[in-house]
Structure 1
């Protein structure tokens, strides 16, 4: 059951990235990066069994942030992709600060959400600290690596090479940094290492699956540019 839900969630997340790009352009990708930064750090608190292995949730939606920056790198360049990284970082910091203040409010007798919020957001600062460091390091590497590989493999047919080479290494960096900062002292070493391995494997699968969506995004832009050129030609005629 978990495996089926994971595949469905994968398709929904990737589809949502393309919809955000289709309707709002690069602004939509910036919005998605902010959404993924918040949701990934909440989902990661839940551990599940997937394909016979223990893993945390959040791998898919976090992986889509790499998809978003890769699309930005491919179409708009390194500067716009790096801007998305800073937007995600800003979102994490502000969310943490605001929620920590919210937890300080004394709940009314009728309140039913305080305990649940405490369970999630009291642990949130450590998760965010781990995520912030891992996020900035890995995403910045991804943006840099994508640009580097784009110079070596520059044709549209080679998008899959630069996308996978940049993302898969970046995901490894992210997994190692995040798991050790977030979960040392929380889980036994064998559980922590199991989470690290399975987290990276799942992120690797997500990274491999996102490649067609970079091509689709590129085609969407090329198609829109072609249509605009046709309209301009017709108006001049």
Structure 2
């Protein structure tokens, strides 16, 4: 074996780091929204689908149990980040520091939004990984179908949970439905566009030695 070549075990650690970092970054980006034609979307949609793509890779290569461990770790590290943000915001700043309010605005979220984000990620990611592994037993040759169906399920549940918890009662039901469908569709299309890269990565990892 080429000593410079990664093993599947080493790549598992790398993918875990990517998934965790992407989750933390996405929650910061979610503070800002943008207009996509007439639809309002959180900026996190530009990176959050990467979590589900990595989730697909982990489930496909390493199975549901190992993918679930990464989801648990991402949840815990994101919670730790929020706790540390809260502590940093509460600490008194020196009189010459003028960025306290901007720092607070970007890194603090209402409890309702935090609960929505954490719950949506946890259950959406688990469902995505479970569907990916389940379909592998039924249609192992059809990677594209498995990736897309698992994403539709995971992203769909994620959007339903997040938007319902975060915004129910603040806007008409019709607007909530539009937001749910728009966010789930955007992320699924993202997955379809980037699928060729996902396929290359999965096939490349399968060729590597396990240890």
Aligned length: 202
TM-score for both structures, normalised by structure 1: 0.77
In 1, Cα distance between the equivalents of 2:102 and 2:12? Answer: 35
Match of 1:218 in 2: 202
Unaligned runs of 5+ in 1: 1-20, 229-237
Report the counterpart of residue 70 of structure 1 in structure 2. Answer: 56
**Aligned 1:137-152 pairs, distance under 5 A:** 137-152=123-138
- Post-superposition offset of 1:119: 1.0
Taking CA–CA contacts closer than 8 Å with sequence separation of 6 or more, which of the two structures ends up with the larger relative contact order? 2
Q: Which has more helix, going by share of residues?
A: 1
Matched, 1:203 2:164: no
Structure 1 position 209, deviation (Å): 2.2
8 Å contact from structure 2 (residues 57, 198) kept in 1: yes
| Cα distance in 2, alignment partners of residues 161 and 67 from structure 1 | 13
> Which structure 2 residue ranges, 5 or more long, are not aligned?
1-6
Report deviation, 1:118.
Answer: 1.4
Match of 2:22 in 1: 36
Q: Does 1:183 align with 2:164?
A: no
Deviation string 1:146-179 (CA, Å, 9 cap, x unpaired) is 1111001012xx1111111111111010001001
Trace 1:22-101 onto structure 2 (pairs within 5 A). 25-101=11-87
With the length of structure 2 as denominator, give the TM-score of the two structures. 0.86
Q: 1:184 to 1:112 in 2, by over 3 A?
A: farther
Root mean square deviation, CA, Å? 2.2
- CA distance in 1 between partners of 2:133 and 2:14 (Å): 21
Preserved CA contact (<8 Å) 1:41 1:124: no
Quick check: 78-87 or 205-214, which moved more?
Answer: 205-214
Q: Distance in 2 between matches of 1:212 and 1:181?
A: 34
